[in-house]
Chain A
């Protein structure tokens, strides 16, 4: 079999986007480090939108790292103990996105009965059936690790009549500061390629493209080598170079850049016969199918001007952010914001006794006054937001109408299609919270649509 991985030319999406100064240099050169096992992990039953998992262990039980402790039912992903220890009573704890949620807390204990479970290789892993592979992915509790955290087995189960031809692996990582996917691509290129092939077989597609931004040439080279060396059957795996530009990693933008296909408004990539998975998810899929290994850890970039030693850290899911910050040497002076996720789309958190959930890819510690703290001025009609919007929407027109209480008149300007990348807000010289105006308009338009339907 000949190698078909190609570099091709550098591709990108149609319009808009920004260059927010990557700031990736703080951690891009730092290999993934393992955090020492924390004293306690908190595993929220809700790790993603959808049905919460149901606890299947009891308080006081001794559990081993790798053991299933909650099941996700038909729509959710199961949850596993990420350290060995004793289960505390189920209670409500702070959650990174839901404010509070029920979480299983495990306190670390060592000794007999608490050894880590082992996950030996299944020698026949390449030959497993589609159904078996999907089941292993479900059992492993894998969710999309790029941030959205949708259960992976559900994404890979195509609805009746949907036929795909291309799998895209998202290695664009366009958010400033974040380098966790980059370091995963450097450390696990073979697992990414194998994971891609497992998913391609499940989906019945013959082509997989790994999208990498052009500022990560080493990652692209490693993936190409891995793709060339892999036993690929009839699946063709390519590395597609994309321009380093935010939001290149958004599904709609990545699909456009790599395939030239334009997704219809409000549609999923399957509308253009594509499915997108994050590169870290591919590694987890590989581990699940080959070793039946559940998703226990994830890589988080801990970075920003507010941390002493910025790092890429592999942490057990459920590790408290405070442990992560401590592992990064603690705060630098002047920390004002702790952002969960990237600085463009992440939200800042009020406290650190919050656990790392499956979808968290970065913790960015920012110093100084928030650029939006001083309030905002009127729209001066500079059109920067119109030029920056990758969707061709008009945040300016939406914002002035929302300010005037005329949300329902924003329909022609596209608020309903906004996926909240924040480019408009980033460029606004009046520091207007344009993406928040878009959210308000979107909510109003949706509500009005629902009312219409009910009538």
Chain B
């Protein structure tokens, strides 16, 4: 082979500035990892609450994805459905609501979450609020009855019992009837373990299995997708705010606390960018969650706690700067 052949690249050389290497990570990859780690909790929800849960999940996801796709097409923008973020919004929304919600309500909720929660701000990366929680807040305002009552009783998948078998969630009981009643519920036949840990209890589809939510969160931490600062401070804040009620343990094990702490509060776009900011953000969420649960009109508080804390993120980003390794004019 002649020198000339050896020296001629087949294509023109690309001129570009450094760096010329890139970590094997992409936004889509991160989003699909999040979706993947949510799958066990979602499937468990479907197992506990029956086919209706699957319908709700499918409709939320379909609504969210359709909204994303429609907006991209309508605005003639690059189609961003494949980045997995709309799917993630739909899935997260489904996990925060009960299986008793109607399919069309779920569809609307998913679409609202993406449209109003994300697209009108400019799309992925520009929204101020967690889109899934925007969707949930919308559904709470629009379909309050369906969202807060008629909780489907947990039951085996193949049971022939009618769907009408409804009950109250542990937090409902705590809110309405006080600590003693709630303790009776969770220590009753279903038991602490079955009810609060395994998830055989009424509640939102994705929150009932604390174990599976924690497992998913642990994978995200191990994979370097999220840091523990936010979840830990959320849980610490909630424990702090509910400690005086004597029901901190119950608060920590029920409701959507873990799903919120690991999957909503850690949303990259709507959380602070520095570690100290993240800790303060998490504590605020935890404290607000406790306050809303104890004094608020709803038994659950994490959704609004996160949405409220989202409004503080731009300020937290300004107040908490990373420590620079070079301090102006201060030789050691």
Contact = CB atoms under 8 A, between A and B. Distances in A.
B21 A427 contact: no
A436 interface: yes
A261 B332 contact: yes
B125 A350 contact: no
A414 B328 CA distance: 11
A60 interface: no
A146 interface: no
18 contacts: A21-B21, A260-B332, A262-B325, A264-B328, A265-B326, A343-B18, A343-B19, A343-B20, A343-B21, A348-B17, A350-B13, A378-B126, A380-B268, A392-B325, A417-B324, A426-B21, A426-B23, A429-B23
A11 to B, nearest CB: 15
A326 B23 contact: no
A95 interface: no
Contacts of B329: 264-265
A358 B16 CA distance: 22
B3 to A, nearest CB: 6
Nearest to B29: A429
A378 B125 contact: yes
Nearest to A373: B14
A347 B19 CA distance: 8
B330 interface: yes
Contact of B6 (A21, A326, A346, A412): A326
Contacts of B25: 384, 427, 429
A370 interface: yes
A341 B20 CA distance: 11
Interface in A404-428: 412-414, 417, 422, 425-427
B233 to A, nearest CB: 15
Contacts of B324: 265, 391-393, 414, 417
A392 B323 contact: yes
Best-buried of A326, A383, A384, A394 by chain B (most CB within 10 Å): A383
Given A378-B125, A425-B19, A435-B19, 14 more contacts: A252-B325, A261-B332, A271-B331, A325-B7, A372-B16, A384-B25, A391-B325, A412-B321, A414-B324, A429-B23, A429-B30, A430-B27, A430-B125, A433-B17
Interface string B241-277: 0000000000000000000000000001111011000
A183 interface: no
Nearest to B83: A377
A21 to B, nearest CB: 8
Interface string A318-337: 00001001100111011111
Given A265-B326, A322-B7, A381-B268, A429 B27 contact: yes
A262 B327 CA distance: 8
B155 to A, nearest CB: 39
Best-buried of B27, B123, B124 by chain A (most CB within 10 Å): B27
B125 A272 contact: no
Contacts of B29: 429
Contacts of A346: 18, 20
Contact of B332 (A262, A352, A377): A262
A338 B331 contact: no
Q: Which 10 A-B pairs have the closest CB atoms?
A: A330-B6, A378-B125, A371-B22, A422-B19, A392-B324, A265-B326, A335-B9, A343-B20, A381-B268, A392-B322
Given A348-B13, A380-B124, A426-B19, A15 B325 contact: yes
A121 B309 CA distance: 73
B8 interface: yes
User: How large, as a class, is the contact surface on chain A?
Assistant: 35 or more
Interface string A342-376: 11111111111000000000001010001111000
Given A377-B124, A429-B26, A265 B15 contact: no
B76 interface: no
B1 interface: yes
Interface string B295-332: 00000000000000000000001100111111111111
Given A343-B18, A377-B125, A330 B3 contact: yes
B16 A348 contact: yes
Contacts of A333: 10
Given A326-B6, A329-B6, A333-B10, A381 B273 contact: yes
A281 B11 CA distance: 37
A396 B318 CA distance: 13
Contacts of B328: 264-266
A13 B324 CA distance: 12
A1 interface: no
B63 to A, nearest CB: 22
A434 to B, nearest CB: 10
A393 to B, nearest CB: 7
Contacts of A322: 7
Contacts of A364: 20
A176 interface: yes
Contacts of A326: 3, 6-7
Nearest to A371: B22
Contacts of B7: 322, 325-326, 330-331, 352
